């Protein structure tokens, strides 16, 4: 069965969805019980030459229409990347898009997938401790927005959090993700068209400075 590329106009949904509402989501009881083979069939079947014990290492929280996922797929072909999107229509679009891309280019785009979920509530259900930390020693969190207040809010909270430290612009020189963050997503392109500014901030997870300091 050939899938045609989904047309965005059938999948439009407003930007905000209440993460505190009790919508029905599918999520595993715990990370050990998650069946990733449905999302990454090539990586989790016996017939594949790829390592069956692969793990998702990158997560795009609020992946929208999947622009970043598609871009990262070819940049990191051996990494499993998961997009999480709370909106019904939008996550459905990404799933349809990935399905269609996989069919049109066999062997490609097998390492990306999207699930409809509430990352705020269910991140610990999907990912075990340290799973997303394999990128550069400890994990990196990339934040990007065109709204300055949101940027300042995120910077404030990550900076105040003892387990994160800001990665300087110097250290980010040459980072492949940074250069694409502002341009490959729907939102990013819209900001470019409107002549808006992109605010980027990257943070690295560090060791607990207070650990072991009991009494």
Partner 1 sequence: MSASVGFCSRWFISTCDRWLVAVDSKQDREPFVFDCSTAEKKPKNPSTDGDEGGAEETRSDRILAFAVSPCGNLVALTDDSKRLILFRCEASSWRCISVRFVVRRCTSLAFSQAEDQLLAADKSGDVYSFSVLNPDQDGELKMGHLSMVLAVTLSLDDRFIITSDRDEKIRVSCLRSPYNIQSFCLGHKQFISALLVPPGHSQRLVSGSGDGTLRLWEFESGRHLQSVDLRDLMDPEKTDNDNEKEKRCGVRGHRCGVRGHCVDHLYSVFTGVLSVLRVSLVQFFSLDQDQLSPHSRLTPPHQPLDVTFDPEGRLWVLMDSDHSPLQIYTHRCGSWQCDTDSPDLTRVSAAFRIHWDKLDASVRTASRFDHLYVVNYDNVSEYMKKKQQRLDQQSQKRNLDQKRRPDAKKMKTPTANS
Footprint of partner 1 on this chain (CB under 8 A)? 4-5, 10, 20-24, 29-31, 70, 74, 88-89, 92, 100-101, 104-105, 116, 120-121, 124-125, 129, 161-163, 208, 210-211, 213-214
According to DSSP, residue 136 is labeled B
Residue with tokens 């394999």: 134
Q: How far is the CB of 52 from partner 1 (least distance, A)?
A: 23
Q: How far apart are CA 65 and CA 132, in angstroms?
A: 22
Please enumerate, by residue number, every residue annotated as part of a binding site for S-adenosyl-L-methionine. 62, 85-86, 118-119, 185-187
CA 133 from centroid of its chain's CA atoms: 13
Q: How far is the CB of 160 from partner 1 (least distance, A)?
A: 10
Handedness of CA 167, 169, 171, 173 (dihedral sign): positive
User: Which CB atom, from 52 or from 77, has the smaller least distance to partner 1?
Assistant: 77
Q: How far apart are CA 94 and CA 29, in angstroms?
A: 24
Q: How far is the CB of 74 from partner 1 (least distance, A)?
A: 8
Nearest to 80 by CA among 113, 52, 108: 113
Q: How far is the CB of 181 from partner 1 (least distance, A)?
A: 17
Q: How far is the CB of 30 from partner 1 (least distance, A)?
A: 4
Q: How far apart are CA 79 and CA 101, in angstroms?
A: 17
Instruction: Report the 10 Å Cβ neighbour count for 113.
Output: 22
Q: How far apart are CA 61 and CA 118, in angstroms?
A: 9
User: Which CB atom, from 121 or from 180, has the smaller least distance to partner 1?
Assistant: 121
Please enumerate, by residue number, every residue annotated as part of a binding site. 62, 85-86, 118-119, 185-187
User: Which CB atom, from 29 or from 174, has the smaller least distance to partner 1?
Assistant: 29
User: Which CB atom, from 101 or from 177, has the smaller least distance to partner 1?
Assistant: 101
Query: Which neighbouring-strand residues pair with 142?
Result: 202
User: Which CB atom, from 4 or from 49, has the smaller least distance to partner 1?
Assistant: 4
């Amino acid at each position: 069965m050939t899938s045609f590329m989904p047309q965005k106009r059938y999948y439009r949904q407003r930007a905000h969805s209440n993460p505190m509402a009790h919508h029905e989501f599918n999520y595993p009881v715990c990370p050990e019980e998650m069946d990733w083979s449905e999302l990454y069939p090539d990586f989790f079947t016996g017939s594949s030459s790829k390592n069956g014990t692969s793990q998702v290492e990158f997560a795009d929280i609020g992946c929208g229409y999947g622009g970043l996922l598609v871009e990262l797929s070819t940049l990191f072909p051996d990494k499993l990347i998961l997009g999480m999107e709370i909106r019904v229509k939008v996550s459905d679009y990404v799933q349809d898009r990935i399905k269609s891309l996989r069919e049109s280019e066999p062997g490609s785009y097998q390492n990306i997938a999207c699930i409809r979920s509430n990352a705020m509530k269910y991140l610990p259900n999907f990912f075990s401790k340290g799973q997303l930390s394999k990128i550069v020693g400890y994990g990196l969190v990339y934040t990007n927005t065109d709204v300055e207040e949101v940027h300042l809010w995120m910077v404030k909270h990550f900076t105040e959090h003892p387990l994160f430290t800001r990665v300087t612009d110097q250290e980010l020189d040459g980072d492949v993700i940074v250069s694409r963050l502002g341009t490959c997503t729907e939102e990013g392109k819209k900001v470019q068209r409107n002549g808006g500014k992109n605010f980027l901030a990257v943070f690295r997870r560090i060791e607990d400075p207070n650990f072991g300091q009991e009494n």
